[in-house]
Structure 1
């Protein structure tokens, strides 16, 4: 049995003093880069920006996915369209009244639209526009900071989204974000999202060297899940 999954490192958690080195190493190993954009209001933190995406593009052609944690999604969607961010994922909690307009705006620009569900928000909140989304991101931690407590019960949302996709013929991909590491690889693998966001505890913070950290991450995934890593295809032993 084989399983195709996607890996998306969270660049908020990378070692910025080794920015170029780590990006170049990861370019031929990952499916996308995860860019957290926080405004200090939706969550009490401020990180990254469309400008950061432009800097990464100078040394990478890997697709980039922006995770908005902002109170004014309209402003940020426009900025991300301007830099042609491949995926623009909005917080479901603040798009009431503008969701269809923003999704259409993203699609009209030839880009992909996603929604992010914080732990307290149910999958039902996406019901009006689930059929036109390209991605749904499930937060398995409270948003805003790295290192938050893993919320096991959020994995049920991944199962629910997979069932809905199969029943309704929806095309969105399912992504999980939060505490993706050795402690939780088995639980996450059983829930079977399409895309894993990997950050400090699962990759960048494992060692002082990105190649060693990558090898350790792969070894831990294989040990915990029983799947073997082979260029993005995970085959059951």
Structure 2
């Protein structure tokens, strides 16, 4: 499978959103939108209103990562705003996971689930077959630029094995410290979608086209080494 890249929009230059979206429309596979409530994680970044504002100029799916305590409150607003994927954390939905998953699908969106570093794959085993994407957090959630947690490679391998053995259709995504230092080991473990933020993309050059070219060169150089 061709690697897919999911730029984290909270790391972009928010003073030049339209210009940067136009650059990424031609290159990226998804847009990663972090929705935070100040409770599940301590900070607050983007919102359903942000999704609504940029949706008209986006040519690829908006992938909404819900770092919120009550994801049910965000499903309908995000679906109406134009979300393509809605991805709550498993830690926030397991008391009502099937209802939440069905609600996301019923609102016309694909369903992802996000696993914190300390959350095992077994936590989602009863509904894993219903998921369109599983995101492995390779850093603790809430802040960009954290160091990679190497123990997550075994979790990625486990998801890859389960997918192959059972014919599941979910995409395997990694969020956190996807960059030149980790591309090779993440790819070898089974990562299919890379969330790229400050270290992987936006910090490589002030010109986003140049930064993207550098990222792809880094990826190809490391993975093919």
User: TM-score, normalised on structure 2?
Assistant: 0.96
The offset of 1:29, in angstroms, is 0.7
Tell me which residue corresponds to 1:201: 199
Give, in whole Å, the separation in 1 of the partners of 2:16 and 2:204: 15
Query: Where do 1:65-144 residues align within 5 Å?
Result: 65-144=63-142
Superposition misfits of 4+ residues, deviation over 6 angstroms = none
Tell me which residue corresponds to 2:220: 222
Tell me which residue corresponds to 1:27: 25
Tell me which residue corresponds to 1:233: none
Question: What is the number of equivalent residue pairs in this alignment?
Answer: 225
1:11 aligns with 2:35: no
Tell me which residue corresponds to 1:212: 210
Structure 1 unaligned regions, length at least 5: 228-237
The offset of 1:106, in angstroms, is 1.1
Does the CA-based 8 Å contact 1:185-1:225 persist in structure 2? yes
Q: Any idea what the Cα deviations from partners look like across 1:110-136, whole Å, max 9, x if unmatched?
A: 211111000010000001111111110
Between 1 and 2, higher relative CO (CA 8 Å, sep ≥ 6) is seen in 1
The offset of 1:58, in angstroms, is 2.5
Give, in whole Å, the separation in 2 of the partners of 1:6 and 1:185: 12
Q: Counterpart of 1:4 in 2: which secondary structure? A: coil
Query: Where do 1:119-198 residues align within 5 Å?
Result: 119-198=117-196
Structure 2 unaligned regions, length at least 5: none
The offset of 1:193, in angstroms, is 1.2
Indicate the RMSD between aligned Cα atoms, in angstroms.
1.2
Q: Any idea what the Cα deviations from partners look like across 1:137-190, whole Å, max 9, x if unmatched?
A: 000011000011100110111110111111112111111100111111111121
Does the CA-based 8 Å contact 2:176-2:195 persist in structure 1? yes
The offset of 1:15, in angstroms, is 1.1
Give, in whole Å, the separation in 2 of the partners of 1:180 and 1:34: 13
Does the CA-based 8 Å contact 2:76-2:107 persist in structure 1? no
